[in-house]
Copies of this chain bind each other. A is one copy, B any other.
Amino acid sequence: MADTTAAQRRPSGTEAPAAAPLTNVRAQRVRSVAGLGRRSVRAREGLFLVEGPQAVREALAWRPDVVREVFADPAGRERHADILQAAAQAGVPVRDTSADVLRVMCDTNTPQGLLAVCRPVDVALADVLTGDGGEGEGRPRLLVVLTNVRDPGNAGTVIRGADAAGADAVLVGTDSVDVYNPKVVRSAVGSHFHLPIVLGLDVPALLERLRAEGIRTLAADGSGDAGLFETDLTRPHAWVMGNEAWGLPSQLLEACDEAVAVPLYGHAESLNLAMAATVCLYASARAQH
């Protein structure tokens, strides 16, 4: 084990000696990484934080080209040798840190030993609509639109659910939480690197565009006329998910082709946004597979 670790600290083929571990929580380097917890700094630097082993592993496996640097504390180095090896193979620098430094860099108090700094992964809408944004499998059949979604945990969980259900992309309106917020990234556990995400969309214009492309727009809305399990989900469509508390504004509801309600069989007044999205997306996946 000690040998393996030593080998990883100075991978063969790397000429330069490994940089000294970061141990000073007040160092400029540490503070500048920690600053990426703030939206303004992310926008200025064009970088975001990816915390925890599973998300870092997915970043390196699927999009090593956007991973700029990985930070590992002693526990992370010991437990996740495979991930650090993947970083080395991808030519991504790994910097050792103390546990305190990693905690200061991360947005969470329990960073689980690993952190990556990545460049944005979002793509253009046109690439999604022509099927160039993902794996080149052609035109999209299942999309999710987020508008006025404000809670980072919800947004991240919807991205993860969209990934699990095999959606072709997540389309995010200008009015929603920043998908590079560390809490969104944590909740999505690597799904940012699995499926295309489009940002900064004007939602009314997007709905028109989707219709022009032959993609039905389905508003997920508790008061919708159509029941989820009675709706035809075999054709290409986009689920439009609104704000956690007040749903979709009437203007957007009317702009959608149909308003679809998840049935409530018991006495709960509603499902939370992420649950509703996941139930809708899985109904779609089931119909399309």
**Interface of A with B (CB < 8 Å)?**
54, 58, 62, 157, 160-167, 189-191, 194-195, 229, 262-272, 274-275, 278-279, 282-283, 285-286, 289
| Interchain CB contact (< 8 A) of A278 among B195, B270, B275 | B275
- In whole angstroms, how far apart are the Cα atoms of A165 and B58 in the complex? 33
> Nearest B residue to A191 by beta-carbon distance?
B268
Shortest A156–chain B CB gap in Å is 10
Q: Tell which of B58, B167, B268 touches A160, judged by Cβ atoms closer than 8 Å.
A: B268
- Closest Cβ of chain B to A201, distance in Å, is 21
Pick the residue among B54, B271, B282 that contacts A269 (CB under 8 A). B54
Q: A279-B278, A282-B279 given as contacts; is B164 within 8 A of A264 (CB)?
A: yes
Judging by beta carbons under 8 Å apart, are A271 and B164 in contact? yes
Contact B189 A269 (CB under 8 A): yes
- Decide: A275 and B274 in contact? CB cutoff 8 A: yes
Closest CB of chain B to A243's CB: distance in Å? Answer: 16
CA of A216 to CA of B167 in the docked complex: distance in angstroms? 32
A62: chain B residues at CB < 8 Å are 267
By CB atoms of chain B within 10 A, which of A190, A265, A270 has the most? A265
On whether the beta carbons of A160 and B271 are closer than 8 Å, the reply is yes
